[in-house]
Amino acid sequence: MKEAEIRPQALFDRYLELSREDIEIFFSDQSGFVDVPCPACLSDKNTEAFRKLGFRYVTCDDCLSLFLTPRPTEKMQAAYARESKAGEFWSTHFYRETAEARREKMFAPRARIVQEFMRRSPEARVFADVGSGYGIFLEEIKKLDLFSSIVGIEPSPGLAAACREKGFNVVEKVVEDVDGKQIQADLVTAFEVLEHVFDPERFLRACGSVVRPGGLLLFTTLTISGFDLQVLWNHSKSIYPPHHINLMSVEGMRVLMQRCGLELIEVSTPGKLDVDIVAGALRSDPPPPVPRFVRSILSQPQAILDDFQSFLQRSLLSSHIRVLARRADPS
């Protein structure tokens, strides 16, 4: 998989351009922003890492997670999600124009991962996905005929309607507002949501509440421990306010899961794009400052680059982190 297949440069650059314009409209006044401790370990000790577009990113002194503080309140974030030009562009032009590529490169493989994990719970009946978007992943899950009930949890009215048009049951709320008694799923998934939310612990606890006791939670997000984020740092397009505000380290993720009362089964970094993302950044004009050793790596033949990406995956050094956890069964 290549970055351009799921994130074409022209489309993504337009999205970032609109994001910069939105910041002037929604966040030029930061007097209402709130300070937060580390979203992973709750430490209040941190060091400023950099400022980007007027926002302040810090590194936790204890677990090395990167996060935004002060940050917009949940109310501010909700207004931005509803009214921003970037959000509208992502959910219309960007998503629609990349839908089939994402189906092939992202959603279908994720469905196969679900199929693999469900071998551990052959009695599974109910599936729920948090942040279902246009329902492409729900469609891929349906094809596998693993579950008797498939539920989408999607707060955007337009995206929730798109899922309903495809025949899916949708709860039109953020997961934090979903009654855990309303849904009890054998497996809950949440892909690329955690990096956006105001309070990651509250989000994960809410996800856990819609998992039946003994059931599974599978989610992915960004980790600042990953190669491309460490190399590109403040020049990374994946570290971009006000969208990506929580970038936990691998260690921070472990601490967060423990605080949420979820049994951690597996942490992995199966990302495929670290090397390609850094190589793409070096083709930009002007290119970001990158250490000479990294440039040397990227000049190697493709077979060596593939081996290096595999090394990053195995060593928990890719920026795409996947977590599988179980809700404790009190019985």
pTM above 0.85, yes or no: yes
pLDDT of residue 90: 83
| CATH code for position 39 | 3.40.50.150
pLDDT of residue 132: 93
In terms of residues, how long is the chain? Answer: 331
d(CA 204, CA 260): 7
For residues 202 and 10, the model is more confident at 202
Read off the pLDDT band of 9 (50, 70, 90). confident
- 207-263 per-position pLDDT tens digit: 999 999 999 999 999 999 999 999 999 999 999 999 999 999 999 999 999 999 899
Q: Tell me the DSSP string of 270-331.
A: --S-HHHHHHHHHTSSSPPP--HHHHHHHTS-HHHHHHHHHHHHHTT-SSEEEEEEEE----
The number of distinct structural domains making up the chain is 1
For residue 142, give its domain range.
3-327
3-state secondary structure of 201: helix
d(CA 133, CA 159): 5
- 71-113 per-position pLDDT tens digit: 999 999 999 988 999 988 888 888 778 888 889 989 999 999 9
